Structures are given as C-alpha cells and as structure tokens.
Amino acid sequence: MDAYGENVIIMNHPLLKHKITRLRDKNTGTNEFRSLVNEIAMLMGYEALRDLPLKEEEIETPIEKCMAPVIAGRKLAVVPILRAGLGMTNGILALVPSAKVGHIGLYRDEVTHEPHEYYCKLPDPIEERVIVVTDPMLATGGSAVSAVDFIKRHGGRKIKFMCIIAAPEGLKRLSEAHPDIQIYIGQLDRELNKDAYICPGLGDAGDRIFGTK
Ligand code: PRP
Ligand code: URA
C-alpha cells in the first residue's frame, strides 16, 4: 500500500495506465476522451465494487434449480460531481445498470479555487446505499470534501470516492477531512501549479469531456 493508509487505493494496472496516458495527451479529441473516461471508470469500478453486497436468488440451470448470488443492485448509488464526474457515470452503470444516480453540482471559483454548490439531488433513502462519488480530478480537494460533506449531511455513510488523477495536496485534504471513506485513484500526480491545476494532469477535465473552450 502507501503512506496514505489502507483507505487510499492507488490503481496499478497496465491497461489503466495506458488509457490515462492517452487521456493526458493534448491531441486526444473530445470523442476519444469521453470514451476513455468511461472505460477507465469501468476498470476502476471493477476494483472499487469488489465488496458490493450480494443476495441469493433461485435460478434454474439446464440441470437443476439452485440458489446463486446476484448483485443487490438497488444498494448502489453513483453520485457524479458535475460536470466532469458525469463522464464517469456510464462506465459504472455498465457494471451495475440498476444503480441509482444522484448529482452534486459544484464549480471552482477561478480566483479562490473554492467550490460553489449550484445543484444537489441524491437518491432517497441514501442511508443504506454504497455511494460511489465520481470526479476525474482531485486537485485542491475542495470539491471532493464539499461533496462528501453534503452526502454525509443527508445521511450517506458508506462512501467511496473515485478519481482518475489526484494531486498529493487534494488527496491529503480529502483523506484528513474524511478518513472513513475509501478513495480510489487512477494515478497520483506530482503537484498543483499556481492556478491549482494538476501537473502534469490532463488540463480541464470538464472542458475536454464536453468540448467546451
Ligand atoms: C473540476 C473537477 C473537480 C474540481 C477539482 O471541476 O472536475 O470537480 O475541478 O478541483 P478541486 O479539487 O480543486 O476542487 P470544475 O470546478 O472545473 O467544474 P466543471 O467540472 O463544471 O468544469
Ligand atoms: N480541475 C480540472 O479539471 N483539472 C485540474 O487540473 C484541476 C482541477
């Protein structure tokens, strides 16, 4: 593991590394960028959901009836942080199509880099669900901390945060503010620059997913 403790899982899979490199490349266009974000979310989801609750269901094979495990899908909620987190949602829904989806709208002030909330709606009830919060970028950590604060205020308890690229500054802030959540990271980068962008990073994730700017 690493110095951040066992709640922080930094992915180490060649397929993931390859896809993240393609994502970073400034010559990767919107269409490919979007596909890669979803593929990465699916690969990360496979790991992050390994403790998803199962239930037994009776089925009949060509040979006999038996009880067999199936995902208790209604127990999962995916909560993207808008906008960029939306890009990861379908990747996780491809694994668990019956998951509910909530939304947390936050944007970072360009000067202060502090998050501002503009829309929040969570599946109700939320208490018993495993909640996967998605956002490709964990930079200062302000957005992630606010999103998890919001979910906890509404009763969410079993929270996993999933990002594709993290800066050490944001990881420290999130893991200190919410030591009880699991944090899944595709790649841990070097540092933030003076504009609080991740270096080397991939630029502005929302703009690259939605083709804005
Ligand atoms: C980006 C990103 C995160 C946030 C990370 O969103 O998707 O939500 O910045 O930065 P932080 O860790 O310093 O809070 P942004 O605010 O640019 O909004 P957008 O997704 O709508 O473009
Ligand atoms: N948000 C982004 O989209 N990219 C960064 O590098 C930092 C915050």
For the chain, give the mean pLDDT.
Answer: 95
* 128 or 44: which leads in pLDDT: 44
pTM (predicted TM-score): 0.94
Q: Is the pLDDT of residue 73 over 60?
A: no
Domain assignment present for 59: no
Q: CA 121, 140, 101: angle at the middle one, nearest 5?
A: 20
For residue 27, the SS3 value is: coil
Distance between CA atoms of 95 and 42, rounded to whole angstroms? 7
Number of domains in the chain: 1
Give the per-residue pLDDT at 3: 65
Looking at ligand 1, which atom is closest to the CA of residue 207?
A: 22
Instruction: State the average pLDDT over residues 148-170.
Output: 97
Specify if 2 maps to a domain. Answer: no
Element (H, E) at 174: helix 168-177
CATH number of the domain bearing residue 151:
3.40.50.2020
Where does ligand 1 bind, in terms of residues with CB under 6 Å? 81-84, 106-108, 113, 115, 135-144, 170, 196, 204-206
Average pLDDT over residues 87-110: 94
pLDDT value at position 157?
95
The counts of H helices and E strands in the chain are: 6, 13
The answer to the question of residue 60 being in a domain is no
- Is residue 65 situated within a structural domain? no
Question: Residue 1: its pLDDT value, please?
Answer: 40
* pLDDT at position 83 over 90: yes
Q: Is the CB of 137 under 6 A from ligand 2?
A: yes
Q: Is residue 67 included in any domain, yes or no?
A: no
**Tokens 């989801």, located at residue:** 45
pLDDT score for 89: 98
Task: Please indicate whether residue 117, judged by its CB atom, sits closer than 6 Å to ligand 2.
Answer: no
Do 140 and 106 meet the contact criterion of CB atoms below 8 Å apart? no
Instruction: Look at residue 190 and give its three-state secondary structure.
Output: coil
Task: Please give the distance of CA 20 from its chain centroid, rounded to a whole number.
Answer: 14
CA of residue 170 relative to chain centroid, distance: 14
Q: What is the percent of the chain with per-residue pLDDT over 70, rounded to a whole number?
A: 98
Mean pLDDT of 96-120: 93
Domain ranges, residue 202 = 8-51+76-210
Mean pLDDT of 4-28: 96
The number of the ligand 2 atom at minimal distance from the alpha carbon of 208 is: 3
In a domain? residue 141: yes
Within a domain: 132: yes
Q: Closest-lying ligand to the alpha carbon of 134?
A: 1
Beta strands in the chain (DSSP E): 8-10, 54-60, 65-71, 76-82, 100-101, 103-108, 115-121, 130-134, 137-138, 158-166, 182-188, 191-192, 198-199
Residue 69: per-residue pLDDT: 96
Is 96 part of any domain?
yes
CA distance 48 to 12: 13
pLDDT number for residue 52 = 86
Protein residue whose Cα sits closest to atom 2 of ligand 2: 204
Residue 173 has pLDDT above 90, yes or no: yes
Catalytic residue IDs? 108, 112, 204, 207
